[in-house]
Chain A
C-alpha cells in the first residue's frame, strides 16, 4: 500500500455549502487522482495531478476543483455541494503511468 489517508472518512453536509476533502500520501508518488464511486457506474475520474500545481480534468469534473501545493497532499473541493455529489470519493496515487494505482480508504459524503 502507498500509505494513503483520506479525511474526513465520513461527512454530511447541506446543499450549497463548500466541502473540502483531503488526500495525504507518504510514498512520494508523483501522480494523484480523485474518483467518485456510484452504484452502476464503477469509479469515475474527477481530477488528477501529475505534479505539484499540475492538475487536469477527468470525465466528471463539473462542480469540483482540486489543488496540490505539496507532493503529499491533494485536495478536492466542492464549491457548492449538491445532492448529486452524494457519493463515495476515493483518492489514488501512482508512481509512474506504467505502474498500478493505489487507493485510499474512501470518504463517504452525503449532501442533504
Chain B
C-alpha cells in the first residue's frame, strides 16, 4: 500500500522568511511525486512534480522540492515567502498508474 504523510498540519512563517514543508511517503519503488496548492475556495493547482532524473525539481511561483530516496521524503521549499503564498499545500504520489494518494495537507499562514 502507498501512503503520504505531511507531519505539519499548520505552519506560520513571516513574510520574507524561508519555508520548508515536509512530505514523507511509503511506496515499494520510486514513485511519481507531486505538490499541489489550494487557495481558499479554489481547486488544486500543480506546483511541481518529480518523475525521474534530477532530484531537485523547480516549480511555479518560486517553489522547489527535493526527492530524497534514502529518507523517503519530498520536501517543498521556498527561499522567501510572500503573503500570497498563504494556502493549503498537498503532497501526493502515484506509482506510475493513475491513482493519486494525497497527504492530509499543511495549512500555511504568512504573517506580515
Chain A partners chain B: yes
Q: With an 8 A cutoff between CB atoms, is A74 at the interface?
A: no
| Cβ 8 A contact of A42, one of B34, B94, B96, B104 | B104
Q: Is the CB of A44 within 8 A of B102?
A: yes
Contacts of A90 in B (CB 8 A): 43-44
Contact call B102/A97, Cβ cutoff below 8 A: no
User: B100 contacts the other chain (Cβ, under 8 Å)?
Assistant: yes
- Is there contact, CB below 8 Å, between B105 and A98? no
> In chain A, residues 49-106, which have Cβ atoms closer than 8 Å to a Cβ of chain B?
50, 58, 90, 92, 94, 97-98, 100-106
| Given A90-B43, A105-B42, also A42-B102 (CB < 8 A) | yes
Provide the bound-state CA to CA distance between A31 and B100, in Å.
12
- B94: chain A residues within 8 A (beta carbon): 97
Check A45 against B44 for contact (C-beta < 8 Å).
no
Residues of B in contact with A (beta carbons under 8 Å apart):
4, 32, 34, 36, 41-46, 49, 51, 90, 92, 94, 96-100, 102-105
